[in-house]
Chains A and B, each alone.
Chain A
């Protein structure tokens, strides 16, 4: 019965995606409605996850689809930190359609229902899955910020006459926020991977494709931080690195997990 909560979440996120599109064309009411859609949808999704956790007495998102559902919640939660502010509504145009689509994929994979209980311990799942997903959510937000940076920079380079008609966050702010988000997310991924490797060594399992690509993802984001701080890579170049990192995040989240969870 609680899984019926999926539908209001999808409606809210879908409404937000459409609302942000409307706001991009004509700023105002559509943007405000979209922001409320995100807030309400996220609260309902929180309730859905809480019901799942209570029913399973632990961490029921160890499956691929379940973790995808949790990932969507983390992404939207991270977006909510800034997304409700007017200049950041354009960010919603990137984040909310992705969130709504991933939610549908999670549903199709059974991730919004309660599946079979994982044989892993709750502590391991919270540390490994929770930390990795939280980091990926942060990277997704950083990629969205970087995408918005590239869009805004392109308008400046093209000297678009409409540049002052559509309020957007400044280049410096977007660059700074993306950098800060990655700075917080990378340690979470590092810890999540470390916990996974400890369990891998302990159980004598072998390294699969997902582990390899996750390590590659870590390398790209670590390079992002190093290049920013040591080589002064900011702005456009940093944004391209962030988008490359995000492509790996999507690969890890959608294409490769089947073998890992099996």
Chain B
């Protein structure tokens, strides 16, 4: 069986083209089933960044043509943007995808779940089972052994990660949102995923504050009441469109005096800024504006790229293991046939010598059986080892054919 990959991704096709070949779960399952009809195997991996078909078939060229045709049927123009990879290259690509190394943001974690979902929806057997299981293993290993996925890749996730640097677990930590726009909401959602509590939503227009507060189970406030709640809040996220500072250092300093040394993290996502930069100088106050957060994200992305180098070596090692396993698929039947033929000859020769052996007692007969079996095993040991070694190299198929030819192993044994 040969492994064939045909697909396109953000590296090769713009969004306008990718969206035309994007498939939902049901469509992906249906297409995989169609491509696997007739004893093959197929998995369709479709995310916002890629649509890829992994297909296993006896004839690589025919399998590839079928996969290309399936995608071209969705959008004829996509054919120019398709990559086509076979066997080791296809497996290596899948392993890189699962590890997040082929993603727009290196190391993003969502792709591993998408690969798993695609695998579960696919029509799989020996080859695709193996390659997808190993891809999932490689993805998990990369995340466990490198820091590629540990750092945030967006401003709002960086803000949440900073909150964890100050408070540790965010469960139950009180968040005060200043401004009720989209940016505030996005930052709030990121904090909510870390089990923080949106306690207050303050806005110039109280209606809007009430609307957002209702969604988060928070208390709505007019901007004038922020100072009162600064005493209890742990994190302040500000993103209003006010032309000047919404919070000055003096106001925060008054609140800090009542906080008994508790830390206060302030995130200013607004331009122009909502929070007086002098707040950062107050004891126990840590203020980060949009530029600070963007610089942190840029740095963490650079760090991800460094970690990606380590991840590549893990992925390469896994791809090499898969390659050895796939090569052994060519060799193992040849070895089995060779051993079966040798055993057949041994038993035939023993039957021929039945007349002579008839005079032997049971113990002597067993000794003859054992000696002949040992001779066969010893003769076949070195060829078996060499064949397995050849399987790991590129010429495994040639060796397998040579063995079949030299020992006259029949077609039915292939």
Contact = CB atoms under 8 A, between A and B. Distances in A.
Interface in A14-31: 27-28
Given A163-B162, A165-B299, A237-B261, A170 B283 contact: no
Interface stretch (B108-116, B247-255, B288-296, B353-361): B288-296
Contact of B262 (A157, A159, A234, A236): A234
A161 B146 CA distance: 20
Contacts of A28: 145-147, 310
Contacts of A232: 259-261
Contacts of B263: 171-172, 235
A170 B164 contact: yes
A152 B286 CA distance: 12
- Counting chain B CB atoms within 10 Å of each CB, the highest count among A156, A164, A167, A235 belongs to A164
A167 B284 CA distance: 20
Contacts of A171: 165-167, 263
B175 to A, nearest CB: 15
A213 interface: no
Contacts of A236: 283-284
A101 B13 CA distance: 60
B260 A152 contact: no
B296 to A, nearest CB: 5
B243 interface: no
B303 interface: yes
A156 B262 CA distance: 15
Contact of B296 (A161, A168, A172, A234): A161
A169 interface: yes
B299 A162 contact: yes
Contacts of B310: 28
Contact of A167 (B150, B167, B259, B299): B150
A152 B165 contact: yes
B277 to A, nearest CB: 11
B328 interface: no
A165 B286 contact: no
Contacts of A122: none
Nearest to B304: A165
B158 interface: yes
Interface string B155-168: 00010011011111
A27 B146 CA distance: 9
A238 interface: yes
Given A167-B150, A171-B166, A238 B299 contact: no
A29 to B, nearest CB: 9
Interface string B162-182: 101111100000000000000
B288 A164 contact: no
Interface string A149-161: 0001000110101
B165 A159 contact: no
A158 B164 CA distance: 17
Interface residues of B, number: 32
A161 B164 contact: no
Contacts of A156: 162, 165-166, 286
A36 interface: no
Interface residues of A, number: 25
Given A165-B300, A235-B283, A27 B147 contact: yes
B195 to A, nearest CB: 14
Contacts of A161: 295-296, 298-299
Interface in A234-249: 234-238
A177 B260 CA distance: 17
B152 interface: yes
A144 to B, nearest CB: 18
A161 B167 CA distance: 18
B389 interface: no
Nearest to B260: A232
A176 to B, nearest CB: 9
Contacts of B161: 164
Contacts of A162: 299, 303
Interface in B282-333: 283-284, 286, 288, 292, 295-296, 298-300, 303, 310
A233 B286 CA distance: 17
A234 B260 CA distance: 8
B260 A159 contact: no
B165 A157 contact: no
B280 interface: yes
B149 to A, nearest CB: 12
Contacts of B167: 170-172
B150 A173 contact: no
Nearest to A234: B261
Given A156-B166, A165-B147, 14 more contacts: A28-B146, A156-B162, A162-B299, A163-B162, A164-B151, A164-B158, A165-B151, A167-B150, A169-B168, A170-B165, A172-B167, A172-B263, A234-B260, A234-B262
Interface of A: 27-28, 152, 156-157, 159, 161-165, 167-173, 232-238
Interface of B: 145-147, 150-152, 158, 161-162, 164-168, 259-263, 280, 283-284, 286, 288, 292, 295-296, 298-300, 303, 310
